[in-house]
Amino acid sequence: MKKNPNAPDISVEQNSEAVKMEVVANNSENEILKEKEVPALLKVIKSVKEETQLLTQWEKLDSTERELDNFVFGGDNLRDTLTIKDSDGHAFSTNNSFLIQKVTNLLKELVSDKRQEIEKELTTRRLAA
């Protein structure tokens, strides 16, 4: 006799006290369950990747902030130099300590703000999980 592929599997167990019958759903129900699990798993993987990227950005910003904090500026306009170059090789350079300190402080502020923004996003993600 041929078995119907859509029919559930039935197993019968017998022990000394009672007969137990178990009906196991056919593969289509298991496939439906797997279809529901796959998108959820993909969502988790995507979330982990995004959090990893955010953590990497946070670490770079934190490192940059510490590097900027280590700058010591002189007042003699000779020791300090700021050089900015673009991708075409154009450069701007100055030895004006006042200007260099202002630019460095602005960079610190921007880096700190971005680091805090990422911290907030990571915290929000963790609370939502």
Query: pLDDT value at position 113?
Result: 97
pLDDT band at 11 (very low <50, low <70, confident <90, very high): very low
Strand positions, DSSP E, 8-112: 9-14, 19-24, 82-85, 91-94
Higher pLDDT, 113 or 71: 113
> Where does the pLDDT of residue 2 fall: very low under 50, low under 70, confident under 90, or very high at 90 and above?
low
User: Which whole-number Å values give the CA distances from 111 to 33, 54, 90, 115, in the listed order?
Assistant: 46, 14, 24, 6
Query: Percentage of residues in the chain with pLDDT exceeding 70?
Result: 68
Q: What is the pLDDT of residue 43?
A: 86
Question: Quick one: pLDDT at residue 98?
Answer: 87
Tell me the pLDDT tens digit for each residue of 84-113.
Answer: 999 999 999 998 888 999 999 999 999 999
Query: How many CB atoms neighbour CB 68 within 10 A?
Result: 15
Q: Among 20-34, 40-54, 58-72, 96-110, where is mean pLDDT lowest?
A: 20-34
* Token pair of 61 as six digits: 């910003």
Q: What is the Cα 12 distance to its own chain's centre?
A: 50
> pLDDT averaged over the chain?
80
Among all chains, which residue has been given the structure tokens 């496939």?
31
In the numeric block, the tokens 């078995």 are attached to 3
Mean pLDDT, to the nearest integer, of 65-70?
A: 93
